[in-house]
Amino acid sequence: MMILVTGGAGFIGANFVLDWLAKSDEPLVNLDVLTYAGNLDTLRTLDGDQRHVFVRGSIGDSELVTQLLTQYKPRAVINFAAESHVDRSIHGPEDFIQTNIVGTFHLLEAVRAYWGELEEDSRQNFRMLHVSTDEVYGSLTKDEPAFTETHRYEPNSPYSASKAASDHLVRAYHHTYGLPVLTTNCSNNYGPYHFPEKLIPLMIVNALAGKTLPVYGDGQQIRDWLYVKDHCSAIRRVLESGKLGEVYNVGGWNEKPNIEIVHTICALLDELRPRPDGASYRSQITYVTDRPGHDRRYAIDASKLQRELNWKPAETFETGIRKTVQWYLDNQDWVVNVQSGNYRDWVEKNYNERHA
Ligand code: NAD
Ligand code: DAU
């Protein structure tokens, strides 16, 4: 038995791969094209581990995906591969359309052909799990109830629109061809190996480097945070026991305004790595021009997953964020390695035009 993971060198995919191989001996093929967000450093502890087969390539390369499916005969495919950063999708949407929509389409086609040729038993047991996001549901006002699985799709950024399109394709392949799919829509993740273009790692890395902490707009936008290992455990649970064709929302019941997140990070750093001048890291906070079309609030109702599949997160926000800050303090080498020229170009592009 074997599984195929796509995008397994990115933040969540790599956490999933490490977690999977820590918990089971079932090998996996990891297909990742290694964009700026893919990083083999994250998987270094698996060097020489026969259970991990890394293949550099794209989900959009039908020939390669078909070859991998035929060669390794996975019992499941888990699709993490995507362009994932909202701000990048605003600066340049095309990659998002290519990977998240066209790439997912090619992956679905290759998987459908493979699944169609399997023997009855394997056909029955095969699963394709598509990893998606709460952003497809759009934005909530302060008092609206959290997103359930039946909430209308109202994506607002090129990123969320491309993820919404991929979700619809996955749904259609189940409805039309009977492909045994599962979809998870998760809230904001945080934890180890998070690329420092996203809010939490960017704030930690900038704080330690003595740089400004750029809070978009009024900082009152709300996100619902889940520790990445809890997302991984939810995916495993849905893969094992989810009902075919169903969607499961994944979240940690941890809604927080952005500014509160930044204050929490500053307080943890003040405690764990005080600034030499004795001032608080809070003094580095700068309010900057808002993200265009910025969604005000996300909140996930994960009660279906809890009720039907008996899943709940292991971490609270307080335990998860402390582990995360400590991880970044302990893994400065990883941080330095991902801050390549490409990273510096992005930081310049995204932040130089935002006025304080
Ligand atoms: P990430 O940007 O850190 O990693 C994406 C990975 O996909 C990278 O390793 C990249 O090299 C790879 N990739 C990109 N295009 C590819 C292609 N064409 N073929 C193969 N590999 C390709 O993203 P992430 O934060 O780990 O997110 C993983 C998935 O989870 C995405 O689908 C994202 O939409 C979804 N998601 C993310 C969050 C979050 O908070 N980060 C929350 C909910 C859902
Ligand atoms: O909700 C799930 C989504 O969460 C995933 O689908 C996306 O892949 C993931 O990137 C994330 O999207 P967000 O846009 O919510 O995450 P990000 O970390 O970019 O931003 C979180 C919030 O912080 C958001 O309201 C914007 C704000 N922000 C972000 C950055 C990078 C700032 O105020 N300053 C910043 O510098």
203-225 pLDDT, tens digit each: 999 999 999 999 999 999 999 99
131-172 pLDDT, tens digit each: 999 999 999 999 999 999 999 999 999 999 999 999 999 999
Instruction: Answer whether residue 161 is part of any domain.
Output: yes
Q: What is the CATH number of the domain that holds 94?
A: 3.40.50.720
- Binding-site residues, ligand 1, Cβ < 6 A: 6-7, 9-13, 31-35, 37-38, 58-60, 80-82, 84, 99, 103, 131, 133, 163, 186, 188-189, 195
Owning domain of residue 106: 3-194+225-255+293-315
Distance from Cα 90 to the centre of ligand 2, integer Å: 12
Helix axes 62-72, 104-117, angle to 10 degrees: 30
Instruction: Answer whether residue 349 is part of any domain.
Output: no
Say if CB 212 and CB 262 are below 8 A apart: no
Instruction: Answer whether residue 107 is part of any domain.
Output: yes
**Tally of domains within the chain:** 1
Nearest to 324 by CA among 205, 201, 223, 235: 201
Distance from Cα 346 to the centre of ligand 2, integer Å: 15
CA distance from start to end of the chain: 54
pLDDT, position 342:
85
Instruction: Answer whether residue 200 is part of any domain.
Output: no
Instruction: Answer whether residue 67 is part of any domain.
Output: yes
Instruction: Answer whether residue 81 is part of any domain.
Output: yes
**Ligand 2 atom 22 nearest Cα:** 199
Sign of the C-alpha dihedral computed for residues 192, 197, 198 and 204 taken in this order: positive
β-sheet bridge partners, residue 286: 214
* Amino acid at position 207, single letter: A
Q: Residue 176 — pLDDT band, cuts 50, 70, 90?
A: very high
Quick one: which H or E segment has residue 132? Answer: strand 127-133
Instruction: Answer whether residue 234 is part of any domain.
Output: yes
**Ligand 2 atom 23 nearest Cα:** 199
What is the average per-residue pLDDT within 332-355? 89
Give me the half-sphere count of Cα atoms (radius 13 Å) on the Cβ side of residue 111: 32
* Amino acid at position 162, single letter: S
More confident residue, 353 or 100: 100
Tokens of 77: 């495919």
Residue 355 has pLDDT above 90, yes or no: no
* Amino acid at position 281, single letter: Y
**Cβ neighbourhood burial of 314 (10 Å; 0-12, 13-18, 19+):** exposed
What is the average per-residue pLDDT within 90-98? 98
* Catalytic machinery residues: 134-135, 159
Q: Residue 48 — pLDDT band, cuts 50, 70, 90?
A: very high
Mean pLDDT estimate for the chain: 97
Nearest to 127 by CA among 6, 250, 241: 241
Q: How far is the C-alpha of 346 from the C-alpha of 186, rounded, in Å?
A: 26
Q: Would you state the torsion angle of the CA atoms of residues 85, 200, 137, 5, taken in this order, to the nearest 10 degrees? A: 60
Residue 56 has pLDDT above 90, yes or no: yes
pLDDT, position 341:
79
pLDDT, position 344:
85
Say if CB 3 and CB 26 are below 8 A apart: yes
Residues 21, 111, 232: CA angle, nearest 5 degrees:
30
> What ligand is nearest to the CA atom of residue 300?
2
Instruction: Answer whether residue 334 is part of any domain.
Output: no
- Which among 6, 18, 35 is the best mutation to test ligand 1's pocket, defined by most ligand atoms within 8 Å of the CB? 35
